[in-house]
Amino acid sequence: MNVDLVMSVEVSSKEATKSENLTECLIEDIVLGRIASGSKISEPELAKRFEVSRGPLREAIMRLEGLGLIERIPHVGARVISLSQDKLIELYSVREALEGMAARLAAQHISDEEVIELEGLLARHSEHIDEVDGASYFHQHGDFDFHYRIIKASQNSQLVNLLCNELYHLLRMYRYQSPRTQSRPEAALKEHLFILDAIKNRDQELAELLMRRHISRSKALIEKNLNS
């Protein structure tokens, strides 16, 4: 193979890896509020902070736009999205329908091993709630997130893409940055246990009903705070 071509491929691969790592860092900074909601994205500042060139940075910013964490405003530029309770209500309505479907499919496709792993996961969540005396639910993501694992167990690639990629970090951002008055950890854990029990028993209709009801209750809490 041509030496110049090999070097070009290696450089391109390193740039892609750098962009992927930067994307993950920026996601966490936005979700956790280290980059404030509504703040303007400064490419020179971020390039200096992360010691990267503009190429990988711009690619990472484009990925964040795709995830809905950054929006471009005409004559203003790129900004971190602002948390809006109206938008959240819309998001939870979508979740209610799609995650209900995911729970139904999980009851059909989940493996015994996945059920055991989820039982262990909820046991760890319960321990956390006991440790903090019911003050909060464990801020989990990825494989430590009950909802994420149920969606993956649905084995439906369209649902996984929508709920674990496009909408997932917006929901995480809300969880981390919303007031604790909108949290109901003990009730949420009980509902998770009931959902898992329905899935374990392969009761597809009940699994969907319980998941939809679970998310609907969270949405009602958001609406209550919006109107108070």
What mean pLDDT is reported for the chain? 85
Report residue 39 CA to chain centroid gap. 20
State whether 104 and 207 are in the same domain: yes
101-126 pLDDT per residue, tens: 999 999 999 999 999 999 999 999 99
Claim to verify: residue 128 and residue 179 sit in the same structural domain: yes
The pTM (predicted TM-score) of the whole model is 0.79
The answer on 160 and 126 residing in a single domain is: yes
pLDDT band at 9 (very low <50, low <70, confident <90, very high): very low
Identify the domain containing residue 184 by its residue range: 85-227
pLDDT for res 108: 98
Domain stop point among 51, 80, 109: 80
What's the pLDDT at 71? 92
Largest CA distance in the chain: 68
Mean pLDDT for the stretch of residues 206-227: 88
Per the structure, the count of domains in the chain is: 2
Task: Point out the domain boundary residue: 80, 102, 132.
Answer: 80
- What is the arithmetic mean of pLDDT over 137-163? 84
CATH of the domain at 22: 1.10.10.10
Residues 6+ apart with CB under 8 A from 142: 148
Are residues 102 and 62 located together in one domain of the fold? Answer: no
Range in 46-50, 72-76, 77-81, 136-140 the model is least confident about: 136-140
Residue 11: is its pLDDT beyond 50?
no
How confident is residue 75, by pLDDT bands cut at 50, 70 and 90? Answer: confident
Last residue of a domain, one of 30, 59, 80: 80
Question: What CATH number did the domain enclosing 158 receive?
Answer: 1.20.120.530
